[in-house]
Amino acid sequence: MSLINEQQLKLSSAEFHASTRSGKKSAWVIIWRQRYLYFMLLPVMVYYALFHYLPLYGATIAFKDFNIMKGILGSPWAGFKHFEYLFALDKFWEVIGNTLIISFSRLLVGFPFPLIVALLLNEVRLAVFKKSVQTIIYLPHFISWVILGGLMYNVLSLDDGAVNNLIQSLGGEAIGFMTDEKYFRFTMVLSMVWKEFGWNSIIFMAALAGVNPQLYEAATIDGANRWQKIGSITLPCIRNTIAILLILRLGSIMEAGFEQIFVLYHPGVYSVADIIDTYVYRIGLAEGRFSLAAAIGLFKSLINFILLVIANKLTRMMGENGVY
């Protein structure tokens, strides 16, 4: 942007107002005038076209009997056969239910927690302490679930797991955090929140840094305490950021954390832990039933899309900007 002459921008702006009078032709003139900016945009558009829009035609195999030799386009149409088969399966509704339960639990616990942490850190005045805490809480985000899965097994195992040793030394019964259906989801949600809360607090921290300090100064002069400042200044100022993040999270509510669950689940907890993504992996890739897997994936995307639209609508009704 620094390369663009300010005067040139002003000229372009003037031309834009003029062009509204002379119709479509002048729109091309504007594009031509700002062609370098549009050129810079082109790779991003090509990227999205190639990797996000073009592959969409592959989703059609959900409505086809996919034949490898004939390819996606040449495979015969099968209508809603795969969907009908899926909807008749108890397993399908089970994985949908698990996905929603795990995802909403993560949202309920995992969404406000980083916000609270960011608010607390925002109140810390000792820079060294603040930075140390930030570094420590960001760290788990950079460890893969494969490593963390092994660590979790060692910490939560029934034999010699540190947590169960502690429980037993206090006279309690060992708990099957990873093996008992009752505790498995709880373990998943808590470990996911623990891993990501630090990282997720970054955006809130950035939003908090943008709050005008003069507002706090004015509130201090007016005699407001810290809670009042948080309630009357901080939260209202970052309300839009919170709303947008919430919409984005709702838009991906059907993503319940494939990597984590894939590493930690086992046949003994399938009934509470098997989510759409792990099921798609098993029947799609491991069993090679690609059309069926695509049907589940498409169904999942549809729900995500509907949730995104609803969340955005609600946000706009509440007076916020929304994502579109």
What does the binding site for another protein look like in residue numbers (CB under 8 A)? Answer: 3-5, 36, 39-40, 42-43, 46-47, 50, 66-69, 71, 89-91, 157-160, 176, 178-179, 181, 266-271, 274, 281-283, 285-290
Cβ distance to another protein smaller for residue 166 or 302: 166
Shortest distance (Å) from residue 17 CB to another protein = 24
* Dist CA 281 CA 311 (whole Å): 29
CB of 18 to another protein, least distance (A): 22
Of 16 and 270, CB closest to another protein? 270
| Among the listed residues 1, 3, 68, the one whose alpha carbon sits nearest the alpha carbon of residue 291 | 68
Residues in the chain: 324
Closer Cβ to another protein, 89 or 162, answer by number? 89
Instruction: Give least dist CB 132 to another protein, A.
Output: 36
- Residue 67 pairs in a beta bridge with 71
- Identify which of 175, 189, 192, 184 has the alpha carbon closest to the alpha carbon of residue 166: 175
Q: How far apart are CA 76 and CA 82, in angstroms?
A: 13
Q: Which is nearer to another protein, 175 or 311 (CB)?
A: 175
CA–CA gap between residue 9 and residue 69 (Å, rounded) = 55
In degrees, to the nearest 5, what angle opens at C-alpha 306 toward C-alphas 109 and 93? 70
Residue with smaller CB distance to another protein, 20 or 169: 169
Contact 293, 285 (CB under 8 A): yes
Q: Which is nearer to another protein, 62 or 245 (CB)?
A: 62
C-beta closer to another protein: residue 172 or 236: 172
- What's the closest the beta carbon of residue 253 comes to another protein, in angstroms? 25
CB of 47 to another protein, least distance (A): 6
Pick 2 or 144: Cβ nearer another protein: 2
CB of 91 to another protein, least distance (A): 6
Question: How many other CB atoms are found less than 10 A from the CB of residue 71?
Answer: 10
Contact yes or no for 264/176 (Cβ under 8 A): no
Longest Cα separation, the chain: 84
Using the structure block, give the residue that is written with the tokens 């689940």: 265
CB of 281 to another protein, least distance (A): 8
Least distance from C-beta 57 to another protein, angstroms?
15
DSSP assignment of 233-277, as one string?
IIHHHTHHHHHHHHHHHHHTTT---HHHHHHH--GGGHHHH--HH
Q: How far apart are CA 105 and CA 186, in angstroms?
A: 9
Output phi, psi for 76, to 5 deg.
Answer: -70, 145
The CA-atom distances, in angstroms, between 121 and each of 131, 202, 205 are: 9, 11, 8
69 vs 127, beta carbon nearer another protein: 69
